[in-house]
Amino acid sequence: MTPLQQSDLQSLIGKKVKVLMASRFYQRVLHEDSQGLHIKYANHRVPVKPDLNTLHILYFTALKPKGVK
């Protein structure tokens, strides 16, 4: 990621972002702690990672936690 994208990422912390999880988009608040970026989903901490598409648009991907419906 470029430094400009890193600063954009820092500005998104605490705001709602689109997260791709299990082939669906969810809107959740982005958090950061010592372990990295994460969202809250069904009262679970779910780690997310930033990703770029071919148009260089930033979005986030995550794996759905086990045991959550």
Model confidence, pTM: 0.85
Judged against a pLDDT cut of 80, whether residue 1 lies above it is answered with no
Q: Tally the domains of the chain.
A: 1
Identity of the residue numbered 11: S
More confident site: 66 or 28: 28
At 69 the pLDDT is 72
d(CA 46, CA 33): 12
Please give the helix or strand (H or E) that residue 9 lies within, else none: helix 3-12
At 57 the pLDDT is 84
Beta bridge partners of 67: none
| Structural domain includes residue 67 | no
d(CA 5, CA 57): 10
List, for residues 21-55, the tens digit of each pLDDT value: 999 999 999 999 999 999 999 999 999 999 988 89
| Structural domain includes residue 69 | no
What range does the domain containing 9 cover? 3-62
DSSP characters over 33-66: ETTEEEEEETTEEEEEEEEE-TT--EEEEEPPPT
| Structural domain includes residue 68 | no
| Structural domain includes residue 18 | yes
At 47 the pLDDT is 97
